[in-house]
Chains A and B, each alone.
Chain A
Amino acid sequence: MTKNFALVIEDDPDLSDIFSKALQTAGFEVEAIRDGRIAEKRLQEIVPTVIVIDLHLPHVDGVTLLKQINENEKFEKTRVIITTADNVQAEIYRNLATIVMVKPISFGQLRDISARLKIA
């Protein structure tokens, strides 16, 4: 695994592509998952530098995943970016993430923000 690895968990294929591309442009190696249950399994195997996670996900929702990430010590250094269209939820789960971004999220915005989270 390379130094800067990012996991994008987003069910919308277009947004998943855009977010992945933004992170790649910022210099991350990116893996995109569109299903909560698959993401849950994958997270048992890897420790990404950055996780971009949507709250609305099929099978296992983003909040459940976020709680697991927060409870697991191996993710201590992992930076989490919540992406959501709901600004009320954004407020509620603010403390579960490093950064909360409310949709619409611009390509440039995510690229610039994630670039700052890279490990030198």
Chain B
Amino acid sequence: MKLYEKIIATYNGLVDVPSSDPDDARRRKLLNIILVGMMAVAGILILAITVLLLLFAFNPNEAVLPIIASVATMIGVSIFYLINRWWSGRVASVSFLFFLMFVITLSDSPAELANGRSVFLFAIPIVVASVLIGSTSTFVFYILCSIEIIILVLYAGKPAGAAVFPVVSFLFLALISWLSSRSLEQALKDLRIININLDNLVTERTQALSESLTRERIEAGRNQAILNSIADGVIVFNAENSSILANPALSELIKTPSDELTAISLNEFVHTADLSGTNQKMIRELIEQPERSESGVRVEWGKKSLSVGVARVQDTATRENIGAVAVFRDVTREAELEKMKENFVAVVSHELRTPLNALMGLTEMLQEGIYGAMNEKQVSITERLMTNITRLLSMVGDLLDEAQIGAGKLSINPQVFKTGSLLENLHSTMDKIAADKGLALSSNLDPAMPENIVGDHQRLQQILINLVNNAIKFTEKGGVHVSILREDPHHWKIEVTDTGIGIAENEIPYIFETFRQASNTAMRTRQHGGFGLGLSIVKQLVEIMNGRITVASQTEQGSTFTVLLPLETAQY
């Protein structure tokens, strides 16, 4: 195989002619093939004659002519080869053809050549010219051959009419050669055009591909740079919940090397000693079901507080779900500040309570006459002292509650209590306050309510008192009505209705916010007293009890606050 390839390579090196014109190269190669072939035939002939001479020892005189002819052919062919190879294909071809005609002229008697057995030899230059020089050159050699035939006819002493048959026949041959050569040239030309077009197309496509690859690389690089420079930790999971991308901020945030954050499953991601079981579950659910989650869920990851937001990633074209992206923000500092604030509020309220308690007790002792009877003025003063102390105490209590709810420290202590006691206690606390303002405080208890229910009595009482207190605060005339009703077999509700100033529709969404009162101006807050914590605490307490608070109101028409709670009855 190697040898065969070597021979082919040598042969190609021998016949190929480098040329910028592909037609020229093709023609010169063709001439070379013919020349090399002739050279080989001459070589073989000389070799054969030599062998015959040695083996059979026939008359050497008979061998002289073929040997001379062979050697002459080899010399001539070499000259044409050199011209063709190093100078001009056209010159080599034309001279080769003339040489061919010369050889033909000498090959037989003029009579046989004119229209005898050897006339067909003239077909060779006519046909070969069309492929070696060009389609039209076939006519040139046709004319030359025709002239030579006519001369030979006349030279042989034959009538001129004897030349008609070969001349007409060769005309047809020349025509056929011309046509076939022309169509071959045309076909090759077409092929070359097609090739060039194909080359251009390939170049264009390659160029476009490389450009788009470059663009994509730049784009990807830019996206990566953006991702890398985001301060928040970002991780992307595909639809199979395997991570496909994580930025350095996340790796820094959760103290995990970047390479351990990509191509890991969601389970592997959350399964870490830095996360409590609850938080692991929470993050897993968030990423699996992003549409159910609210933004900014807090988790404790190691020593850090992180806020997690998860969004579904959809294919922009098909809207198909292709995964989820989770963003982790470090809120440790905020969480600390919040905790400090809560602690501060708790400590301050706690410390305020002791002296307030002393004030209350001492005032009470005066009122009780422990230190002797008081005159009318003194009684009035101690009453006013008591009212102000109570107000202060209730505000401090609100602050403490708010701080405890915020810190998640407030727990519910369910116990069995008499449903009616809520209203009894309400009246004993609030009747005087309502009466002082000239308002009627009325109530009713749904007979469908069980006599005893389970709940945090103290906190339920607080909810009721806060709501009634709020109603009295914002009512100038009329009254406040409280109902305890059975909503359905599993729920009960407290309704507090007043005939007060009501709440404008656009303010309703805000009334349960901390430190907020409707028509939220500082003046209003002062006018109505308190921190505006009452409703916020009520709402938070209701929510801790798995209940819901709603409000229906119209400006100047009064308001109705409804607290809906799950109904639990004593098991015994």
B-binding residues in A (CB < 8 A): 12, 14-15, 18-19, 21-22, 25, 85-88, 91, 103-108
For the A-B complex with A18-B357, A18-B365, A19-B361 known, give 13 more contacts whose Cβ atoms are closer than 8 Å.
A14-B355, A18-B361, A21-B365, A85-B357, A87-B404, A88-B411, A91-B413, A104-B357, A104-B393, A107-B361, A107-B364, A107-B365, A108-B368
Which residues of chain A have C-beta atoms less than 8 A from B350's C-beta? Answer: 85-86
Indicate if B168 sits at the interface (CB-CB under 8 A).
no
Indicate if B297 sits at the interface (CB-CB under 8 A).
no
Q: How far is the CA of A103 from the CA of B356 in the complex (A)?
A: 9
Which residues of chain A have C-beta atoms less than 8 A from B370's C-beta? Answer: 21, 25
| Most chain A beta-carbon contacts within 10 A, residue among B354, B355, B361 | B361
Which residues of chain B have C-beta atoms less than 8 A from A85's C-beta? Answer: 350, 353-354, 357
Q: Which residue of A lies closest to B351 (CB)?
A: A85
| Most chain B beta-carbon contacts within 10 A, residue among A12, A14, A105, A107 | A107
B353:A91 contact, CB within 8 angstroms: no
Q: How far is the CA of A120 from the CA of B393 in the complex (A)?
A: 36
Indicate if B273 sits at the interface (CB-CB under 8 A).
no
Indicate if B409 sits at the interface (CB-CB under 8 A).
yes
Which residues of chain A have C-beta atoms less than 8 A from B404's C-beta? Answer: 87-88
Q: Which residue of B lies closest to A104 (CB)?
A: B357
Indicate if B358 sits at the interface (CB-CB under 8 A).
yes
Indicate if B275 sits at the interface (CB-CB under 8 A).
no
A106:B364 contact, CB within 8 angstroms: yes
A-binding residues in B (CB < 8 A): 350, 353-358, 360-362, 364-365, 368, 370, 393, 404, 409-411, 413
Q: How far is the CA of A87 from the CA of B357 in the complex (A)?
A: 15
Whether A104 contacts B362 in the complex (CB less than 8 A), given A21-B370, A85-B353, comes out as: no
Q: Which residue of B lies closest to A19 (CB)?
A: B361
Q: Which residue of A lies closest to B363 (CB)?
A: A107
Q: How far is the CA of A18 from the CA of B413 in the complex (A)?
A: 30
10 A-B pairs with least C-beta separation = A18-B361, A14-B358, A107-B364, A104-B357, A85-B353, A107-B361, A103-B357, A85-B350, A104-B393, A103-B353
A104:B411 contact, CB within 8 angstroms: no
A91:B368 contact, CB within 8 angstroms: no
A105:B361 contact, CB within 8 angstroms: yes
A15:B361 contact, CB within 8 angstroms: yes
